[in-house]
Chain A
């Protein structure tokens, strides 16, 4: 596997379910990100992890809970979601948040539908 992978690619869940999204990067990067992409809206940054430490929580509701056990893996735990949470959830990574390249590499996303 190369680049950034995300599983599952599609997820349908009820409002009372608990599920987790997984992201893995094979690039040796130190920063990882969760974004929410809704139709016709700019990508919304949700969380940022630098060297496994959360450095950004962009006013995300507590029903979204991130976890970063190491620099290569990032999870997004979901519980009691609302239908408006249906969206494409993108994971990204970058080499070094304090570096000069700034490029983020994106995974294919998880298409989440909340019924």
Chain B
């Protein structure tokens, strides 16, 4: 079984500042990793995923994440955030078809 820990429940950030959301996972087998975003009153939308290959993964809306196997981490970054990035972000892991999600990080972008 896998589990996911998102280390920050809330991250306030100013517009145009960088942001990093931390995600650590535990698993005894190789995994696939995902970041999802949930805007208010909407479902989850995939930002990016790591399946194999390059450990630096680029996603939509200028987000990227780096898979670090030795540290079992998959942190999400964006160099310059916009007001529209205000949302909840979920890290997820799987080694089959069942996703295990973290509790989420709420990002609030202020002008």
1/0 contact trace for B31-54 toward A, CB 8 Å?
010101000011111100101000
The verdict on B86 contacting chain A, using a C-beta distance below 8 Å, is no
Contact B42 A102 (CB under 8 A): no
Contact B104 A102 (CB under 8 A): no
Q: How far is the CA of A6 from the CA of B43 in the complex (A)?
A: 10
Q: A31-B97, A56-B98, A102-B94 are in contact. Are A42 and B104 (CB under 8 A)?
A: yes
A40-65 contacts to B (CB < 8 Å): 40-43, 45, 48, 50, 56
Q: A100-B51, A102-B32 are in contact. Are A42 and B97 (CB under 8 A)?
A: no
CB distance from A11 to the nearest CB of B (A): 14
How many A residues touch B, CB cutoff 8 Å? 26
Chain A residues lying within 8 Å of B44, measured Cβ to Cβ, are 90, 92, 106
On B, residues with C-beta under 8 Å from A are 4, 9, 32, 34, 36, 41-46, 49, 51, 90, 94, 96-104
Given contacts A42-B104, A48-B98, A101-B51, 6 further A-B contacts (CB under 8 A): A40-B9, A42-B101, A43-B90, A102-B34, A107-B43, A109-B42
Q: Can you sample 17 A-B contacts with CB below 8 Å?
A: A6-B43, A41-B103, A42-B100, A42-B104, A43-B101, A48-B98, A94-B97, A101-B51, A102-B32, A102-B51, A102-B97, A102-B99, A103-B34, A103-B46, A106-B43, A106-B44, A108-B42
